[in-house]
Amino acid sequence: MTDNIKITDTIKLFSDMGQALTAIESKEQVLHVIKRAIDLFFKPSNWSLLRLDDNTNELFFMVAEGIDSAQIQHVTIKLGEGIAGKVAATGNPEVMKFVDKNSNYCRKVDEKTAFQTQSIIAVPLFFRRKVLGVLELINVENPDEFQGDKMLLLSAIANFAAAAISTSSLYVDMVASAETDPLTGAYNRRKLENFIKHCQIPPTKFHRKNEVIFDYLCVAMIDLNKFKPVNDHYGHQAGDEILITAVKHLKDAVREDDLVIRMGGDEFLVCLLHVNPLMEKDVVTLLEEKLETISQQLPYEVSFAHYSACGPCKHVVELIEKADKGMYKHKQSKSNGNPLSKHG
C-alpha cells in the first residue's frame, strides 16, 4: 500500500463503513460516508457518483462534487458512452490520463458546465454481480498511481457504495410498503403517526441539511356518503372499486408532496403541505371545489362529506380533530338536507 494511505486510517474507514451499512436509512447517509472516504484517501477537487437506471439503461448523476449539480441534473449517459458508460457496460475500471487524446471521451458535462476535464479514473459499483453505477475521480494528481492497492481501495469504496445504496433503497421500499394501504395505494395510519411526530419536532432541531420543514398546512377529513349500503347490496368488490376510485381522484387533485391517507374503512385525510397562511382561504376554496367535483365522479351515487381546517404544522393533531368534527356535522347536514359550511 502506498505511503500516503495509512493502514490505521484504512481499518478505521472500513470499520465505520461496516457500521454505517447496518444503520443506513437514506441515500443521504450513504453519500455522506462515501464523501468522507474519498476525501480522506484521494482528496480530489472533483468527483462524481452515477447511478444506473434499470428502466432506461442510462447513467444519471447522484453526486457531482466540485461543479454546480443543477446544471447537469438532466444529463444522462448511455451504456457504452464515454468512460462512465464503458465502465458500466463492461464492469471494468478505466484510467484515462488525457481525455483530449481519447476519442471515447463524452463531453456532455464539460459542455454544460464549462468545466475542463483532464483525466478520469472510473470504477464500477458492483452489488451481487450487478453493476449499479460508476464512481469517478476527476483531474486527480498523478493518475498513473491508480493501480494496485490504490485502485483496490477505490474499488472497495465503490462496492461499499453499491451495497449501501441498494440497502437504503430496500429500506425506503420497506418503509413505503409499511406506510401504504395495500388496497388503495393511499398512505395509512402509520404514515400519519410518523408525519405527526415530524411536524412536532422544533424546526431548529434534528433536521438534516436541506430537509423540508412544514410550517403551515391545510387538512381535510373526508367520509363517503352511502358507502355502506352500496357495499352491503353490491358486495365488497363494488366497495373496493369505490375506495380505489376515490383515492385515485384525490391523488390527482393534490400535489406530489401532499398526503392522501386512508384512516380506515371509508374515511380519508388529505394534508396539503407548505400552505401560505396569506392564501389560506383561496387554498381551502380550491380544495373544497375539487372535493365536490370528485364527489360527483364517484360510482354508485356515493359522495363525499368533508371539512377542512388550516393552521401551523405543530397543531396538526388539533386541526385533524377539528376537521373530523366538522366533517361529521357536514355529513349530518347533507343527510338532513341542510348544507353547512365545509371549512373553518
Picking from 266, 227, 228, the residue whose alpha carbon sits closest to that of residue 247 is: 266
Domain assignment present for residue 183? The answer is no
pLDDT at 16 over 70: no
Residues 311 and 226 in one domain: yes
Domain co-membership, 270 together with 172? no
CATH number of the structural domain spanning residue 105? 3.30.450.40
Number of domains in the chain: 2
- Same domain for 89 and 201, yes or no, is no
pLDDT at 339: 40
Asked if 50 contacts 62 with a C-beta cutoff of 8 angstroms, the reply is yes
Average pLDDT, rounded, for the chain: 82
| Contact between 258 and 272 (Cβ < 8 Å) | yes
pLDDT in the model for residue 149:
81
Out of 145, 178, 211, pick the residue that ends a domain: 178
Q: Determine what percent of the chain is predicted with pLDDT higher than 90.
A: 25
pLDDT at 340 over 50: no
Residue 142 lies in a domain: yes
> Quick check: is 344 in a domain?
no
Give yes or no: residues 229 and 103 share one domain.
no
> What mean pLDDT is predicted for residues 225-229?
89
Same-domain status, 223 and 130: no
Q: Which of 181-190, 311-320, 323-332 has the highest mean pLDDT?
A: 311-320
Residues 171 and 194 in one domain: no
Q: Are residues 68 and 123 in the same domain?
A: yes
236 and 96 in a common domain: no
Asked if residue 223 is part of any domain, the answer here is: yes
Q: Is the pLDDT of residue 178 over 80?
A: no
Residues 17 and 107 in one domain: yes
Q: How many residues does the chain have?
A: 344
- Same domain for 106 and 220: no
Residue 235, in any domain of the structure: yes
Whole-number pLDDT of residue 7: 63
Inside any domain, residue 341: no
- Which residue, of 178, 202, 225, is where some domain finishes? 178
Q: Is residue 216 part of a domain?
A: yes
User: What does the pLDDT read at residue 206?
Assistant: 38
Render pLDDT for 110-168 as a digit per residue (tens, 0 to 9).
888 888 888 899 999 988 888 989 999 998 888 777 878 888 888 988 888 888 777 76
Domain stops at, among 155, 178, 201? 178
Instruction: State whether 209 and 108 are in the same domain.
Output: no
Domain housing 162: 7-178
Specify whether 38 is located in the same domain as 157.
yes
Indicate the pLDDT class of residue 81, thresholds 50, 70 and 90. Answer: very high
pTM: 0.52
Q: Which residues, listed in sequence order, are joined to residue 261 by a DSSP beta bridge?
A: 187, 269
Within-domain flag for 139: yes
Q: How confident is the model at residue 208, as a pLDDT?
A: 44
Q: Measured between alpha carbons, how far is 286 from 277 in angstroms, rounded to an integer?
A: 15
CATH of the domain at 327: 3.30.70.270
Query: Tell me, what's the pLDDT at 297?
Result: 85
Rounded to an integer, what distance in angstroms lies between the CA atom of residue 33 and that of residue 165?
Answer: 11
